Amino acid sequence: MTSPAGVERVLFTEEQVSERIREVAAEISGKYRGRDLKLIAVLKGAVFFLTELARAIEIPVKIDFLAISTFGGGGPGMVRIAKDLDDPIQDEDVLLVEDIIDTGFTARFLMQTLAGRGPRSLSICTLLDRTVRRIVQVPVDFRCFEIPDRFVVGCGLDYKQLYRNLGYIAVMTPDKD
């Protein structure tokens, strides 16, 4: 696939992304050794990361999904669950898998919601972390890459629902419209 219009530069190549995901998967396997782990991915962006991460993890994993939507004009923190998990997480070791943590509002909302359901443990793993834009603090247990304050696409991240299928992560200049 040739680079779409608007893609300015590749930040991480497909090879760099895969290699880093394998490293983080090894960290996760080490931390949860001897236990089962439930991976929870947020639709839709985190699905691409989840599948690659899950295949590289060397302990038994279950997966589940939730979807969120923003309301009230999408202002910060205005997040609700649009599709809930299929199963309870009570007494399970849970890892929330995110594509990107930006302001932190989404992750904080999800962590609070999941914590209320009595998991045995609850941690976060994110593909991308943009700490320069953080407004609310969330503990990030596993991260693949820290990124600069630029809009990015690829590896599940979209611009107007497009470009999730790019294998690399690229900086994008959204068109003015």
Please report, as ranges, the residues that interact with ligand IMP according to CB under 6 A: 45, 99-107, 151-153, 157-158
- Tell me how far the alpha carbon of residue 101 is from its chain's centroid: 7
Q: What angle do CA 94, 99, 105 make, to 5 degrees?
A: 80
Residue 55 or 150: the one with the smaller Cβ distance to ligand IMP is: 150
Whether the Cβ atoms of residue 89 and residue 118 lie closer than 8 Å to each other: yes
Annotation says 64 is catalytic: no
Give every CB contact of residue 34 below 8 A, 6+ residues apart in sequence: 59
Q: Which of 102, 149, 158, 175 is catalytic?
A: 102
DSSP characters for 32-57? Answer: TTTS-EEEEEEETTHHHHHHHHHHH-
Whether the Cβ atoms of residue 174 and residue 7 lie closer than 8 Å to each other: no
**Which amino acid is located at 174 in the chain?**
P
Residue 32 or 104: the one with the smaller Cβ distance to ligand IMP is: 104
DSSP state of 2: P
The distance of closest approach from Cβ of residue 42 to ligand IMP in the complex, given in angstroms and rounded to an integer, is 6
Residue 101 or 166: the one with the smaller Cβ distance to ligand IMP is: 101
The distance of closest approach from Cβ of residue 34 to ligand IMP in the complex, given in angstroms and rounded to an integer, is 31
The distance of closest approach from Cβ of residue 106 to ligand IMP in the complex, given in angstroms and rounded to an integer, is 3
Q: Which residues are catalytic?
A: 102
